Structure 1
Amino acid sequence: MQSVGSRTYSKAVSEGKYDLYLGNLFGKYDNVRTYWEDRLTRIALRPYLRKLVDSCQEQNRGVRIVDLGCGAGQGYQILTLIDRQDLDLGLQHQRVLPEENIETYLGLDISQAMVEKGNEIFEDKSNVSFARADLSEGLGKLKTTQSPFDIYFSSYASLSHLSRKDLVTLLQDICQHGHDNSVVVLDFVGRYSIEWPDYWSAQTETEKVRDYSMSYLYSEATRKHLDIESFPLRFWTGREVKQLTQEISEATGIEIEVLELMDRSVMVGRHTDTREYNSLLKPIRRSINSLHEDYMRTDLQELILDPRMIPKHSEIAPFLRQLVESWNIVVEYCQQRLCQNISLVNLQGWHHYSKPLQFALMTIDRVIADVSWMWYGDPRANIIEPQLGYALRTLEYEMQQGLGCGHGLVAILKISK
């Protein structure tokens, strides 16, 4: 039986869109994916993964990982490229989970094309394998053929392909199969993203499952004449994740602790550029990609967001308005600082700014001051603009509340037995 969305994924694999590479202005592995999304997932995971890896080392064994809806194994890179600390200026990276500490990495995906691609990419790693599995049926034969895993991992909304009922089955299996302190990483599409305001009002379970496409894989010109497949996804909020885990705990008698909820890509989701679900958006992801591109100067005015694009919502709108206001302050300050006609002491209302906003402004101020003597290498394009990107990324991360406002909603859970 062919899976929902299989045509999209098979086509993407055949076109090389799941080959591993760093950064770009467009496509699956654009700069936002590389320098924002993957990095933020790593930052959120780091403290919990570090504790788990240390525990495995104390037991003189490697870490066992199952990647649920693995694609071609992108989760392997997310997990193995996490630095032990932010400011590490040593000669070599010190990773939380070095590759040699992995006993088993098993990737499961319903797409045979993905399984074959994963086996091709990781053919030189004897501890890495991929298998076809239908997660709507839970863990299936893994419950009897595999020892408990330390990490039950998912990435990039792979679990949004499951209905709520099927996800309950999967999580019950994970709880029963996992050991005490196993970590579970859930990744969904957030329902309150500015990309699809028409989805915000969903009440019934049927309304929470909506059509989705991966049209962002193609250029605007290509999208106009291409028959792009749409398929149903289940859109989630942070509150629903908490309710779900409580329900699973009560049903299994096994405690599930929600360690963290993170909204990923609040302002720069995949469909901000396509505007497929919200025609009022600016192609902001494209501009952020430009910030991280070597020798490419960005029109910073294109980064200014219009708060009128935010739909009315008693809980979500106030948060988004505050984020948009802070975002715009950082971008405007950067523009003025580049013209050397402003300093931090000139800013009105500094003491009313949030700590994340103050930090972002100080970052920009210091970076511009420190490169002012450089006359070579295009310091604006290659130093200042990437640091503006990181400042906006940190601002978004520090202000997010795990409400389901991002394109992605990441939940990190711990099993207690």
Structure 2
Amino acid sequence: MNPAEQAPSYRGASEHYLSPSRRDPVKVLSEEPVTRRVLTEALAALALPDDRPVDVLDIGSGTADGFSLLTRAADGDPAVVEEARLHYVGLDVDPEMVETAGEQVRSPSASFVHGDVRSGIPGGAFDLYLSCGVPYSHLTRDELVGALRSVLTAVAGRGRRAAVVVDVLGRYSVEWQPNWHLDRWDYAMSFFAGGGSGISEPMTFYDAPALTSVLDEAMAGTGATVVSRTAVDRSVLVGRHTATGTFNPGVPRFRTLVNDLLRDPASVDPADLRFTPATGGAPRDVLDWLAGFAARWNAALQPYTGAGPLDRDAAARLAHALLGLERAGGPGLGVGHSFTTTLVVDPA
């Protein structure tokens, strides 16, 4: 059976991705800036002439978040790519997502294709092979090796440098600490907003050694050469499942609390935001990094703890301090909700 025929149904999921409530303060002020930074740095590494089009293939494009992240100016910063300069192709296995994306993005710069990366990728010489929203975690490890091999083979054979962004779920997120001993398990998207039905399916989770192994295996025999490899963890304490507690009922509702510092500050006791990191269940480098992050996070809380209800200005200062820590990201260990690695690759 064709892999596309085996894909889970995402019927109704577009309601979540288009819901205004999805773009909460955490997403707008922390998650999107991190992804925009990843994309900006990836394209900068290519040193493309200013007058040349930028060709992008967005793998697992969904409702075209990638297009928006590339073309939408934010916080006074220009767009990552001017829309007029962009040639964007979105690839997604779900026909509803493809249809919805086409309805939402009516731009001559964009087109959307129904297809499965496991069966191959659209032809063309792309500068950026984008993924965001952890599409690659839907694949098994071996499927990811095959998918990335097809991408890297395309780069090797088409004669120009490209950047490949690989976005997956981090294995050691506090959102699912009880599952740290597993690298693939049934992941329920119970955070869906806007009336969409929740989806549950097996997903694959990665730490740095596991993803490095996948990338090295995918690269072997393609003829492509990695010029640079960088990684970042996004949403260390504010991933969407800290709002639901679905996989770790004991985790503080960090995302909700940080959002409420900006939306309903009187409801937040800063002491509830304190983070006590794990002392076991993960490799030593992961535990050490989380301990250091906890020290920085709790130090930001300290001036606001025990002083009574926060006024709006104080709450905003605290929220922005915490979101600043989140924007800095983790070092690419698999300690956040998402774990993103960027390869800059030269052809054969």
Note whether the superposition's TM-score is higher than 0.5. yes
Shift of 1:411: 0.9
Partner of 2:12: 11
Distance 1:63 1:120, change over 3 A: same
Query: Which SS does the other structure have where 1:187 is aligned?
Result: strand
Partner of 1:167: 144
CA shift digits 1:277-321 (9 cap, x unpaired) = 11211111101111333x654524254324165544333222212
Are 1:113 and 2:113 counterparts? no
Q: Is the 8 A contact 2:188 2:199 kept in 1?
A: yes
For residues 205-244 of structure 1, what are the structure 2 equivalents within 5 Å? 208-217=183-192, 228-244=198-214
Q: Take 2:199 and 2:63, find their aligned partners in 1: how far apart are those partners?
A: 20
Query: Which SS does the other structure have where 1:403 is aligned?
Result: coil
Q: Take 2:294 and 2:276, find their aligned partners in 1: how far apart are those partners?
A: 6
Partner of 1:409: 339
Q: Take 1:270 and 1:400, find their aligned partners in 2: how far apart are those partners?
A: 17
Q: Is the 8 A contact 1:181 1:416 kept in 2?
A: yes
Are 1:136 and 2:118 counterparts? yes
Are 1:251 and 2:256 counterparts? no
Shift of 1:164: 1.7
Q: Take 1:280 and 1:309, find their aligned partners in 2: how far apart are those partners?
A: 12
For residues 52-63 of structure 1, what are the structure 2 equivalents within 5 Å? 52=46, 54-57=47-50, 60-63=51-54
Are 1:333 and 2:303 counterparts? yes
Query: Which SS does the other structure have where 1:75 is aligned?
Result: helix
Are 1:126 and 2:108 counterparts? yes
Shift of 1:216: 1.0
Match of 2:255 among 276, 285, 297: 285
Distance 1:316 1:172, change over 3 A: same
User: TM-score, normalised to structure 1's length?
Assistant: 0.74
Query: Which SS does the other structure have where 1:307 is aligned?
Result: coil
Distance 1:292 1:51, change over 3 A: farther
Match of 2:232 among 262, 269, 272: 262
Question: Which amino acid is the alignment partner of residue 37 of structure 1?
Answer: E
Taking only the aligned residue pairs, the percentage that are identical comes to 28
Partner of 1:149: 126
Distance 1:309 1:282, change over 3 A: farther
Query: Which SS does the other structure have where 1:10 is aligned?
Result: coil
Q: Take 1:315 and 1:303, find their aligned partners in 2: how far apart are those partners?
A: 26
Distance 1:184 1:399, change over 3 A: closer
Shift of 1:118: 0.4
Q: Take 1:97 and 1:229, find their aligned partners in 2: how far apart are those partners?
A: 33
CA shift digits 1:126-177 (9 cap, x unpaired) = 12111110112232xx2xxx32101100101111111122222221221122
Q: Take 1:302 and 1:108, find their aligned partners in 2: how far apart are those partners?
A: 44
Q: Is the 8 A contact 1:5 1:230 kept in 2?
A: no
Partner of 1:50: 44
Distance 1:131 1:301, change over 3 A: same
Question: Which amino acid is the alignment partner of residue 268 of structure 2?
Answer: D
Q: Which has the higher contact order (CA 8 A, sep 6+)?
A: 2
Are 1:74 and 2:65 counterparts? yes
Q: Is the 8 A contact 2:118 2:143 kept in 1?
A: yes
Partner of 1:96: 80
Q: Is the 8 A contact 2:231 2:342 kept in 1?
A: yes
Q: Take 1:30 and 1:270, find their aligned partners in 2: how far apart are those partners?
A: 10
Name which one, 1 or 2, has greater alpha-carbon Rg.
Answer: 1
Shift of 1:388: 2.6
Q: Is the 8 A contact 1:109 1:132 kept in 2?
A: yes
Shift of 1:398: 3.4
Query: Which SS does the other structure have where 1:172 is aligned?
Result: helix
Q: Take 2:8 and 2:228, find their aligned partners in 1: how far apart are those partners?
A: 30
Q: Take 2:287 and 2:276, find their aligned partners in 1: how far apart are those partners?
A: 10
Shift of 1:416: 1.3
Distance 1:289 1:311, change over 3 A: farther
In the alignment, structure 2 segments of 5+ residues that lack a partner are: none
Partner of 1:315: 285
Shift of 1:50: 3.2
Distance 1:411 1:126, change over 3 A: same
In the alignment, structure 1 segments of 5+ residues that lack a partner are: 203-207, 340-378
Question: Which amino acid is the alignment partner of residue 128 of structure 1?
Answer: A
Q: Is the 8 A contact 1:246 1:256 kept in 2?
A: no
Shift of 1:3: 4.5
Shift of 1:234: 0.9
Q: Take 1:397 and 1:258, find their aligned partners in 2: how far apart are those partners?
A: 22
Shift of 1:252: 1.5
Match of 2:166 among 186, 194, 200: 186
Query: Which SS does the other structure have where 1:96 is aligned?
Result: coil
Partner of 1:350: none
Say what the alpha-carbon RMSD is for the aligned residues: 2.7
Tell me how many residue pairs correspond in the alignment: 339
Query: Which SS does the other structure have where 2:169 is aligned?
Result: strand
Match of 1:41 among 32, 35, 42: 35
